[in-house]
Structures are given as structure tokens and as C-alpha cells.
Structure 1
């Protein structure tokens, strides 16, 4: 019977948690996806690139709200059980309060491991793939990213400006600057212009203008009544360097091992791993903190939420306990997210900061153990 009761509690808890997590993440993701429309409209990329790029950001959104939704779910389910007198079944069938705490603690450990896996592998890989997607994608909708009275440098080595853009796509007073090799450049201006496709090749057709080319210590000026400017095989100007948050977790750990040489007690540099240098050491520590340490707060907030069973709803202090429990849990979550700013280059200071969730976990568990044993003796 005890297994059935625990199974029912677990089902209600995880069911509410999954629904709340997916719903919340989807709502936030939709708002983010609207902002990602700039990738297609402003930069002129394909619809499929926009959809895939947006989907690749869903894991990151999920990971950011994971711990709060988990705490709120356990808080809500525990409160619901108490208000509906369902917790009495636990006590009537010989289940001690510390048994329920141990059960929740074990479940939170599994959720913590999943969160570490999500933060350490799924999210960085998704972010890295999203960056690669933009880097490799082509600018297809050239007619979309050109706006009147606005310089556009979406295409690498190319700047386009037009004074006015008509509703039918006609461009007036065009200015195009193209960077060439060895610091040389080419400037083209025209009175009118318009995008068109010849086969699958995008062409900018320009009328009544001139092209100025700088090269070999000389300048050439060629006037034209009509000229076609090919936009084929042009690369996006999207940043191609890998950010620290996009690095694989194994590389982050190896980077720390290489930077801190404990045997020789000196700092070295690893050029084989990108962003692995002394100047970036604080960012590496911050990323490790977010991926491996913040999830450890999951058992902490789980123990805080289950503190609701200390008192029954008949006790006049129960409402006060609910408010205090929620505020403590919210503060711990806020603390876990904001303390990444306290991460520094100092290894000892970081170790002390990283040990806080372990200290809180042990302290809260011992507090409940003492509390319930004291109640049992009374």
C-alpha cells in the first residue's frame, strides 16, 4: 500500500511538473521566436532556417525555468494534498514524514542529474548547432533585408544603402561598398535599382550610376547606364567564433585542467581549445557554475518545498508556513541564478561559492530530521 501511495504522489507531482514546464517554456519560446523573425526579415534568410534556429533555442528556454517550475510544482502538489486531507493517508498507513522527505530527495537527485545533462550537453550542442546554422545558411530573400535610409551589412564584406524603397521594390539613390582583398574596396552608386532573379541567381539591376574601384595605388571610375550586380555565393556577416556558453562541457573541464597546472603551480595556456586562455578564465568558471552547480540547488528547493508537511492545515501557523516556505524557495532560486556574478578568477573563492548548495542541502535535511524526530518523541 505504501508503494501505491508514493506512486500516486509521484505521478501527480511529475504530471503537474511536466505540464507546467512544457507550457511555460512554450509561451516564453513563442515570444522569443517573434524576436528571431529578424533573422529572416532583416537578414533575408530562408523560412526553414528561422524555424530550425528557433527550435534549437527551446532547450535553453526550458533549462532556464526548470528549477523554478520544479519548486512551484512540488509546493503546489504538497499544498493540494494537505488541503484535500490526502496527506493523512500517508500517516495512517505508517509512513513517517522523514520517509516522505527521503522519497522526494531521491526524486530530486534524478531530476538534478537530468538538469545537469540538459545544461551540460543538450543546450551547448543546440546553441553551437544554431550558430553553425546561421554561419552556413545563405541569404535568400535579398529584397527583404534592404530598408530605406538604413545601412545594411548582413552580407560579409558588403554594405548596401538606399535612400528610398518603393512598395514595388524599386530602390532609389543606391550606395554599395564592397571590400576587396589587400584592403582595397569598390564603391558603386546608382540612381535606381531593383532585385531580380536570373535562374536561381539573385541580381541587383542598377541604372544610371558609376563604379569606383581603389587598387594598386590608383582609382578607376566607370560610369554605366545599366549594370547587374551579382549577389551569388556571398556569405553572411554572422559572427563565426564560438562563445564560451557554446563550448562542449568536456572542453571546459579540459581547459581548466590545462590552465591550472596544480603540480607545477603555474598557469599555462592551451591554444588547441578555443577561448581557453587566462583572460577568459572567469567566464569558464561561470559556465561551469551554471551547468554543474546550479542544478545542485534542485534538491535544496525540493527539501524547502516539502517543509510544508511540518504543520497540518488545522494549525493556525500553517498559512504563515506556506508564505515563508514560498519566499525561502524563491530567494534560494534567485540566489542560485544571480550568484554567477560572484564567480571570479580566484580558485579558492569559487570553491567556497560552489560549496554553498551542498551546505544548504545538508543543513536543511538535518533540520527536518531533527524536527520530525523531536515531534515523534513528543
Structure 2
């Protein structure tokens, strides 16, 4: 009988949690995906690239929403059971409140494992795949590079301008400036231009123009009737170097150890481009976000279980519910804000690391103390 009661309760909690987590994440993902349209509009990427890139951002949203959805879902279901007098079934069937707490603490451990898999494996890998997608994708919609009556510098070291677009998809009075190096650049004027996207490379066909090459000491120019400007050597302004959040967790751990010891820095720098002493705090902060912040989930569970201490018949039950909600909300905010206090100080980081354990133990010992005095 006890197993059936537990199974029904945990099923309700997990279903509500799953619906809340995915529905909220999908809503945020849809709004965020709209912003990714710039990939097509400004960079001329394919729609398939846009779709894949958007999908790769979904695990990150899931991981971010996870603790919020967890707290609101479980607190809502527990409060609903209490208001509907369904929690009495547990106590009438001989289930002690401390055993109830222990059971849901184990449930929170299982959900913690899921969250830490998300933060340490799934999210970094999806972010890395998104970056690789941007590195390898082509400019399939090169027409988007030319903005009529607007200078467009969405390609590295290249600026393009056109005065007018004709009905036959050709451009009138084109200006192109290409930066070759710090002391040399190229300027091209053409009365007419049209994109040519063949199987070999994307290019811009130019007609009736002039090519000017400017170096530190010399200026050379020549006129042309027809010329072809190859766009394939250019890449988008998208950052192509791996960011800290795109590296594997084991790589960041190895980086952290080497930075602490100040050894093998050249070797680890080949794996993690940003593994440098001046970037140490950012590496530690990323590790804390992946490994330490999920540790607050069991504490969050214990905080919402404060709802079972008193029944709804008790005076000020509504105020107690609000108080429990504020405690849980504070834990979520606190867990995220601790990332700002991560530093190279080992003592400070140790305190931050122990914080979720201290909060969790405080709640648990409080339950033990209360349930020794009160009957279930």
C-alpha cells in the first residue's frame, strides 16, 4: 500500500515537473530562436544551419530552467495534496514524516544526477557542436551581404555597400573595401555587380569599375570592364575560437589543476585556448556552474518539504507557504549569485563549495529535531 501511495505521489510530481520544464523551455527557445534569424539576415547562412543552431541551444535552456521548474512543480503538488487532504493518507498508513523526507531527498539526488549530466556533458557538447556548425557552414545566401544604402561589415575584413538593387537582382554603384593587413587595403568601385554562386565558390561579378590597392608607401589602381571578386576566403564575424563554456568538463578540470600548480601551461593551452592565469576566475566560474550549482537541488527539495511540517488547519498556514516559497526562491538566487564570488582564493572557493552541503544539513537536522517533538 505504501509503495502505491508513493508511486502515485511521485508520478504526479514528475509529470507536472516534466510538463513545466519542457513547456517553459520551449517558450523561451522560440523567443530566443527569433534572435538567431540574424544568422541568416546578416551572415547569409542557410535555413538548415539556422534550424540546427537553434536546436543546439535547447539543452542550455533546459539546464537553466531545471531548478526553477523543479521547485515550483514539487511545491505546487505538495501544497495541492495538503489542501485536498491527500497527505493525511500517508500519515494514516503509518508513513512517518521523516521517512517521507528521506524518500524525496533520494528523488532529488536522482534529479541532481540528471541535471549534472546536462551541465557537464550535454550542454558543453551542444554548444561546441553549434560552434562547429558555424565554422563549417557556407554563405549560401550571399545576397544578404549587400544592404542597399547601408555599409555591411558582417564578413571579417570586408565592407560592402550598394546604392540600389535592380529588378534583375543586380546591384548598382557597388563599393567594396577589403583589409589585407594592418598597413594594406583594397578598394573596389563598380557601376554594376551581380552574385555568382557556382559549385566551386561564391563570387561577385563586377562591371565597369576601378580597383585601388593602398599600401604603406604605394597606391596602385587599374580600371576594368569585368572582374570577379571571390568571397570564399572570407569568414563571418562569428567568434570561431572555442569559448570556455564549449570545452569538455574534464578539459576544464585539467586546466584548473595546471593553473593551480602553474605547470604544463603550454601543453594545456593547446587543448583549452583560454587556459591562462589572467582567465583563471572565468574557468573556475564555469566549473562551479557545472558542478557546484546543481548541488543545491537536494537543499531545494528539503526547503519545500517544510510544507509537510504543519497541516492546513494550523493558523497562518498560508503565510507559512509564502515563507517556504521565499526560502526556495532565495536558494535558487543564492546558488546563481555565488558564481560572482568565485576567485583564485582557495579558502573562498572552499566555502562556496561547502555552502550547498551546509544548507542541506541544516534543513535535515531541523527536520529530525521537529519530528522528534511532533507526531507524524
Taking structure 1 as the reference length, the TM-score comes to 0.93
Alignment of 1:7-156 (within 5 A): 7-156=7-156
The CA distance in 2 between the partners of 1:35 and 1:155, in whole Å, is 19
Q: What corresponds to 2:275 in structure 1? A: 276
Cα distance in 2 between the residues matched to 1:259 and 1:276: 8
Unaligned runs of 5+ in 2: none
1:169-184 alignment to 2 at 5 Å?
169-180=169-180, 183-184=183-184
SS in 1 for 2:178: strand
Alpha-carbon separation, structure 2, partners of 1:247 and 1:203: 35
Q: Alpha carbon RMSD of aligned pairs, Å?
A: 2.0
Encode CA deviations 1:147-183: one digit per residue, 9 max, x unaligned: 1343323333322122444576443332212233685
SS, match of residue 152 in structure 2: coil
**Could you say if the C-alpha distance between residues 232 and 253 of structure 1 is closer, same or farther in structure 2, counting changes exceeding 3 Å?**
closer
SS at match of 2:4: helix
1:7-49 C-alpha deviation (Å, 9 max, x unpaired) = 1111111111011101000000000100001111210001111
Once superposed, which parts of structure 1, at least 4 consecutive aligned residues long, lie more than 6 Å away? none
Q: Deviations over 1:240-267 (max 9, x none)?
A: 2111111111011111111112xxxxx3
**TM-score between both structures, scaled by the size of structure 2:** 0.93
- What's 1:325 paired with? 324
**Structure 1: tracts of 5 or more residues without a match:** 262-266
Inter-partner Cα distance in structure 1 for 2:46 and 2:266: 36
| Structure 1 pair 163–347 and aligned structure 2 pair: CA distance change class (3 A) | farther
* Bigger mean CA offset, 243-252 vs 168-177: 168-177
1:63 and 1:118 in contact (8 A); partners too: yes
1:341 lines up with 2:336 in the alignment: no
Deviations 1:200-259 (A, max 9, x none): 643323233200124695332111233332334543332221111111110111111111
> Separation in 1 of the partners of 2:165 and 2:324?
59
Counterparts of 1:306-317 in structure 2, within 5 Å, are 306-317=305-316
Say which SS state the counterpart of residue 159 (structure 2) adopts: strand
| Contact 1:59–1:118, Cα closer than 8 Å, also in 2 | yes
Report the counterpart of residue 264 of structure 1 in structure 2: none
- d(CA) in 2 for partners of 1:271 and 1:165? 52
1:198 to 1:94, Cα distance in 2 relative to 1, 3 A = closer
Q: Secondary structure at the match of 1:203?
A: strand
Paired position in structure 1 for 2:3: 3
1:211 aligns with 2:211: yes
